[in-house]
Amino acid sequence: MQAIKKVLITGGSGQLGTAIKSIVHTVNDSIQFKFTDSDDLDITNYESVWDFLNQKNFDYCINCAAYTHVDKAGDDSDLALLINEEGVKNLAQACHKTETVLLHISTDFVFDGQQNVPYLETDRANPVSIYGHSKFKGEQQIVRNMERYFIIRTSWLYSAYGHNFFKSMLKYGAERNQLSVVFDQVGTPTSAHDLAAVLIKMISKGVKDYGIYHYSNEGVASWYDFASAIFEINDISVNLRPIRSKEYPLPAERPAYSVMDKSKIKKVLGLDIPHWTSSLVEVSNVFKKERE
């Protein structure tokens, strides 16, 4: 009889946690999930984290809990670091002591965007924002405090749930006749639904090749390209204008180029990653069903 794997999900009410929750019915009974949010488990409190993990005997923890307000992080740097660094340190230390494998979600924002070829896991991190800095600090805490971990960097995450670029464009497209979106920031939109499936696959396969991984959908796009595809797929008519980042200044700097190389995760998991436009169609269909 196959042993049951017990999996803790932190940040379970966020968009990735919700995406995982939406597909657990497709997973066989050999994996059991426990979803928590900050009301159930405050990762910034070490004693709470230790007590929770020590009592429940989890095999895996997927950390979806994070401070994700890129532009507010400059003013809220203490809070961003408390959650993204200190909270992650607490999880790493408690997971290490309880022999729980940690799957931690990080970001393309740990890079400065100065390259013009896809970033490898071994490329030097050099974040240009407080948000990116806080996420990289969290990565460092994991590396320092434990050995059995997966750090999965992803980019431009969106889904049918929570707050994200996809849902913002649908909202603005319904309200306005004209929109301006930057075209000089390039990366890869990533479906949280696809990432959720990959995380579960890592657990179900019992992968032991611990370390840092990159995962996004295939292909490359600017934010303008992404917005244009959202409107086309969802039959929304908007006069969409491409602009440079300097025409739409934001408090936090973004990497100009944050495409990531996914060769490592494709090899380890035998993945055939869908193109971002195909996944956008799938997410749009899920969003429509959610509203019916």
The per-residue pLDDT for range 151-186, each reduced to its tens digit, is: 999 999 999 999 999 999 999 999 999 999 999 999
Q: Tens digit of pLDDT for each residue in 236-269?
A: 999 999 999 999 888 889 999 999 999 999 999 9
- Calculate the average pLDDT of the chain: 96
CATH numbers and ranges of domains, the chain: 5-162+190-217+259-274 (3.40.50.720)
Q: What confidence score (pLDDT) does residue 123 get?
A: 98
The percentage of the chain sitting over the pLDDT mark of 90, rounded to a whole number, equals 92
Residues known to be catalytic: 131
Mean pLDDT throughout 6-25?
96
Tens-place pLDDT, residues 96-108: 999 999 999 999 9
Q: What percent of the chain stands above pLDDT 70?
A: 99
Q: Which residues contact 184 (CB under 8 A, 6 or more apart)?
A: 222, 244, 245, 256
Task: Identify residue 203 by its one-letter amino acid code.
Answer: I
Compute how many other C-beta atoms are within 10 angstroms of the C-beta atom of residue 14.
24
